[in-house]
Amino acid sequence: MPRKTKRRKKRKTGKQDHFPLGLWLLVGFLCAGIVWLISIRPESLSEKPQEVETAQSSAEPDQVVEQAAKKLGIPQPKIKKDTAKKEYSLPIDRGKMDLTFANMIVKNEFESKGAKQTSGKAAANKQTLTFKAGKKNAEVNLYYDKKEPKSAATPKYIAIVVDDFGSVKGDLLQGFLDLPREVTFAIFPDLDNSVSTMELAKAQGRETLVHVPMEPIDYPVVNPGKDPILVDMSQAEVERVINRSLNEMPYCLGINNHMGSLATSDQRCMGFVMEALRKRGKAFLDSRTSNVSVAYQTAQKERITTYRNDLFLDSPDISNATMERKIQQILNLGASSREVVAITHCHSSQKLAYLKTFIARIRAEGYTLIPLSRVGKYDVPLIL
């Protein structure tokens, strides 16, 4: 009887395993999707520059510049432009803003429309900005408008003190009283018309000073006047002179020196003067009859209100040539200070006429008259 043989079942191995058809299809779809994403990504990225390009091309330089000029307060007729070259010039009012601020306004206006600044140049009174708007370039020049009146750009002030009142009377005194009330009178003490001049000035609302005689370098050959302050006086003697003058002239703002080229250069003497003024709460104007005067610095150390003369208007004479030089000197001073203090004298009708003409001329240059007490209220640094 033949032997029955058993069939052996074949053992399944990994090599013989097969993926289901559905799984293969799924893998195929995934691969196709990845290939599609890779192929389409550059295309989608390329759309962004096109969108930017479209946004930039919408920034028409003419319109952008006009909008910037409007924000800068520049009327359209003052815009200088070459539309073909896309070059624009905008005049800036120095009294309202500086070029850097105007630069920020223009740059912000272009960039808000999608343009980009490609270059910039700066000089003392001009700035040049270049922008790329799409495929177009635009150049904007910012500069200070020289046609703007000086007074609009930088307000200027002048305080004028007229020395040597006390003996002046009648029509000549009235002529000086008819001057603008901002003009200050400096009055000698203990003269016939000293007190009455002070009272007339006070009735007008005009400020006054006691014009105190002080020792000059060539004393006693040159006499400064009645009861002067001398450098060899004691503190008590100096205080007596100051107090006597202020008691006689109580409405005066303070004092200024008549002559005094030696006294005002003496630290000890000026210390006595300022101490006496501090006790009375009065001010001091250094007439600056000496280039080495220490009066102004000493007054500041004593913390009393103090002023300093910048120039004498009627020295060496009252000719037209002198007036022209004085006006130019004041304009030069105006480059660093908004305020000027000037002194002149009341000796004659010719000096009065000279002063009237000077006031008209300096006002035409943009200066405003102020009383002496207002000096220091306007003089702030220029930030331009």
Cα–Cα distance measured from residue 210 to residue 207, given in angstroms and rounded to the nearest whole number:
11
Strand partners, 88: 81, 140
- pLDDT at position 284 is 98
DSSP tally for the chain: helices H, then strands E: 11, 14
Last residue of a domain, one of 131, 148, 165: 148
In this structure, the answer to whether residues 89 and 220 fall within a common structural domain is: no
Average pLDDT on 296-315 reads 96
- pLDDT at position 42 is 46
Report residue 18's pLDDT band, with 50, 70 and 90 as the boundaries: low
Report residue 314's pLDDT band, with 50, 70 and 90 as the boundaries: very high
> What is the DSSP annotation of 261-325?
TTGGG-HHHHHHHHHHHHHHT-EEEE---STT--HHHHHHHTT--EEE--EETTSS---HHHHHH
Q: What percent of the chain has pLDDT over 70?
A: 80
Q: Nearest 5°: CA angle at 352, between 347 and 357?
A: 145
Reported as type and span, the H/E element at residue 122 is: strand 116-122
Last residue of a domain, one of 148, 179, 211: 148
Class of residue 336 by CB neighbours under 10 A (exposed 0-12, middle 13-18, buried 19+): exposed
Domain presence at residue 17:
no
Average pLDDT on 162-166 reads 98
Residue 151, pLDDT > 70, answer no
In this structure, the answer to whether residues 260 and 367 fall within a common structural domain is: yes
Q: Can you give the residue range of the structural domain that contains 177?
A: 151-374
In this structure, the answer to whether residues 136 and 174 fall within a common structural domain is: no
